[in-house]
Amino acid sequence: MKSRKWLSFPYIIWMAIFIIIPLLMVIYYGLTTKDGTFTLDNLFLIADPINRNALWLSIKLSVISTLICLVLAYPLALILNSMKLKNNSFIILIFILPMWMNFLLRTIAWQNILENTGVLNTLLKFLHLPTLELINTPAAIVFGMVYNFLPFMILPIYNVLIKISDDTINAARDLGANYFQTFLKIILPLSFPGIISGITMVFVPSLTTFVISTILGGSKVVLIGNVIEQQFKMINNWHTGSGLSLVLMVFILISMAILAKYDKEAEGKSVW
Amino acid sequence: MAGNKLIDLIDITKVYDDNTVLDGLNLYIRENEFLTLLGPSGCGKTTTLRIIGGFENPDSGKVIFDGKDITKLSPNERQLNTVFQKYALFSHMTIAENIAFGLKIKKKSKAYINDKIKYALKLVNLDGFENRTPDSLSGGQQQRIAIARAIVNEPKVLLLDEPLGALDLKLRQDMQYELIRLKNELGITFVYVTHDQEEALTMSDTIVVMNQGYIQQVGTPEKIYNEPQNAFVADFIGESNIIHATMIQDRLVNILGANFPCVDEGFGKNSPVDVVIRPEDIDLVKPEDGIIKGRVTSLIFKGVHYEMDVWANDHEWLVHSTDLFPVGSEVGISVNPFDIQIMNKPESEDEEAVIMDEE
């Protein structure tokens, strides 16, 4: 073992250059003014009404997207699992196939679909139905988030479901539980770890995204990701951008901690 | 000991894809009986158990339980409980919650449930394990919890699907006694599935030997061991010498050119038969005292007895004896007439299929 420790060296260097140093830089910029003196002002800028509203909207849309993903993904994972296909890797492939396409391309495709004169409205017009104004609304952003991040919810849930043995479910049935009780008392609690990691993997990128909101929200819907992006790229104020990033990071850490705690409580406990 | 018919399987057929697992199986199980379904893997024993438990539906045939047709009922509507091979405990619950599962579904009172948990843990010798988690238990302990979880529901029948399969030898033997004790204390019917013939002989009131979807023989352990009905049963249960022979007349059989007196009648004159002679039933004597003569070709010490191969009349005889005959020594082979078991040669194709690696 000892002799192989040097194998980890490239990774340590990688982590130092691409993870640790950037993180330290963000912390440095976030906690200093332009002339390099220490300040907490950058962090408090989150209280500015524009920033505050952007963060609040980000949280709201992320929570909505995560919930929609969960509602869509759980039954789908259940169905996939119950199919017990010999070649279930093919089905999985179909669900992750969109992920192989460029993320920007997919999102721009949604823009074309949702536009006022886009695919969806053309279709609605053709059917003599009222058209919808979706583009540049929060709803469009939720569409984009759900579409892009749904596989990240399906896969972890599916992965825990396939690990629940048939005999465990048969045992519950054998002891008198009907389908519904078996689901509620056995399958759901046993799939909790998958739900938690699915939520994590959808919620975090949703909270920080600026690409989806830029493309599908226009300049009308501003999320915290857009605010930070503007600070770096338009206003060229790295200090404010880093400060807001740090606040966002703290928010993510807190939500992760809550989830982890919930996960631990669920483990080894039933939902009686 | 055994009472009325409790379960009646009538003409059960089950086909997976193109593979007929059970073909017109008929079997009844009595109240209070320890019945073992015994056979090699793929013989249909587990499928039979799963059909009784309700986890599989037969393609045709009926399952009668206590006089009622339960063929179409789902597992949760049947008054029987199953102990699964890999325990199948609920890993997200404590031991107490596992045991309470069935009772909570049935909405029993808290006091009743607590009493039952205490009683069941005592019964399986695991008092005080209420708040442990399944992961913290050994395989044998987990299996006993699985049994406790099943029996608190007071089923009329307990189905056990190779419950000792995953345990090591010593533990398996201890658990065999434990299961016999449990069965006697509970006074319920056990239907037990195993491929281990020793387990079956030790515990059962009735053994059902199965192969390739057919029942080969049903009987008490003694009957199955001493009077196997065909070569498959003889070969599967214990070790044996299975030899082609000719029935000369009633009470006389010609084995490899020598006439042996036996006790069987009604096979006709000069008809081909199979004989089964258990290795421990062969007496090695002085060459001049035996019915045939042979030479010892190998010798292994097995603890309780010696295992010897004897080459005689162009056949290798397997012999178990507490007397030692060194390799190379000339011996005579003699068999008591009632230790020779005569079997009809298989006629139909179904029976033909069961013959395993004959010498």
Quote the radius of gyration of chain A (alpha carbons, Å).
23
Cite the beta strand spans of A62-188 per DSSP E. Answer: none
Q: Are A144 and A107 in contact (CB under 8 A)?
A: yes
Which neighbouring-strand residues pair with B16? B19
Any alpha helices (H) in B152-193, and if so which ranges? 169-186
B88 touching chain A per CB within 8 A: yes
Split at pLDDT 50, 70, 90, the class of A20 is very high
pLDDT at B168: 84
pLDDT at A88: 67
Which neighbouring-strand residues pair with B36? B192, B207
pLDDT tens per residue, range A23-69? 999 999 999 988 888 988 888 888 888 899 999 999 999 999 999 99
Q: Give the whole-angstrom CA distance, residue B34 versus residue B205.
A: 5
Encoded amino acid at B342, one letter: I
Helices A224-233 and A238-266 pack at an angle, to 10 degrees, of 150
- Looking at beta carbons, which residues of chain A come within 8 Å of B133? 268
B53 CB-side CA count, 13 A: 29
> What is residue A20's DSSP assignment?
I
Q: Give the whole-angstrom CA distance, residue A195 versus residue A151.
A: 13
Structural domains of chain A ordered from first start = 31-266 (1.10.3720.10)
CA A222, distance to chain mean position in Å, is 18
B143 CB-side CA count, 13 A: 22
Task: State percent of chain A over pLDDT 90.
Answer: 45
Split at pLDDT 50, 70, 90, the class of A265 is low
Mean model confidence pLDDT for chain A = 87
pLDDT at A85: 63
Q: What single string gives the DSSP state of each residue in B192-227?
A: EEES-HHHHHHH-SEEEEEETTEEEEEE-HHHHHHS
What distances in angstroms separate CA B192 from CA A171, A246, B139, B243, one per listed residue? Answer: 16, 63, 19, 32
Phi first, then psi: what are they for A265, rounded to 5°? -65, -35
pLDDT tens per residue, range B250-294? 999 999 999 999 998 888 899 999 999 999 999 999 999 999 999
* Window A:142-181, CB contacts with B under 8 Å: 165, 167-168, 170-178, 181
Residue A95: is its pLDDT beyond 80? no
The structure tokens 């004959």 sit at B358
Q: Work out the minimum CA distance from A37 to partner chain B, whole angstroms.
A: 53
Pick from B94, B105, B133: CB nearest A175 = B105
Strand B292-301: give its sheet, edge to edge: B282-285, B330-335, B292-301, B306-312, B315-321
Task: State percent of chain B over pLDDT 70.
Answer: 95
Lowest mean pLDDT among A95-104, A173-182, B42-51, B179-188: A95-104
- Looking at beta carbons, which residues of chain A come within 8 Å of B47? none
Residue A270: is its pLDDT beyond 50? no
The structure tokens 């209070």 sit at B32
- Whether B76 sits inside 8 A of A269 (CB atoms) is no
Structural domains of chain B ordered from first start = 5-226 (3.40.50.300), 239-352 (2.40.50.140)
SS3 B26: strand
pLDDT at B349: 44
Split at pLDDT 50, 70, 90, the class of A262 is confident
Residue B350: is its pLDDT beyond 70? no
Mean pLDDT of B107-136: 94
pLDDT at A129: 85
- The sign one gets for the Cα dihedral A189, A193, A194, A196 is positive
* Window B:120-159, CB contacts with A under 8 Å: 133, 146, 149-150, 153
Please count the residues of chain A.
272
Pick from A167, A186, A270: CB nearest B84 = A167
Split at pLDDT 50, 70, 90, the class of B347 is low
